[in-house]
Structure 1
């Protein structure tokens, strides 16, 4: 689910990757300074929702975890990037 600043929500599909800093040996998916990026696509083709309005937006997972992100396009498909913990990585997983 994507939530934009005015409170509207829209279901999406997302393809995301976590970017680790290659100069560090202690990277973790929960790092405040980690970055992640990918793409999001509206799940409903007839939606009037514009992903470009996610500036910033919140990506909310089905289990309630959330990450803030910036959309880089729209209206139906967009690149996205986030800073901070990668909430889409399952707790306890390696993130690989």
Structure 2
């Protein structure tokens, strides 16, 4: 929210809505989610939305959804920053 950057350990997945299997493409109805953990003294819920930047520079927006302040479940907003 205030531009603070902290290192995180991320565990992420992409899912496909099974109801879209007819005429299947990898670009239809994908979502991404996972969890982020940090040792930094921050509340990851303060990132609303947060920006996850991967080592290769790609970025994706997320919202924290559950868990304690330093180990949160997340839901991705928009395209996944990974393949």
Query: Structure 2: which 5+ residue stretches go unaligned?
Result: none
Separation (CA, whole Å) in 2 of partners of 1:58 and 1:33:
21
Misfit runs of 4+, over 3 Å: none
Aligned position for 1:79: 73
SS of the aligned residue for 2:61 comes to strand
Separation (CA, whole Å) in 2 of partners of 1:15 and 1:8:
21
Aligned position for 1:60: 53
* Kept in 1: contact 2:61–2:77 (CA 8 A): yes
Query: Structure 1: which 5+ residue stretches go unaligned?
Result: 90-96
In the TM superposition, 1:34-53 aligns within 5 A as: 34-42=30-38, 45=39, 47-53=40-46
More helix by share: 2
TM-score by length of 1: 0.73
Paired residues in the alignment total 80
Separation (CA, whole Å) in 1 of partners of 2:78 and 2:28:
4
Separation (CA, whole Å) in 1 of partners of 2:28 and 2:46:
24
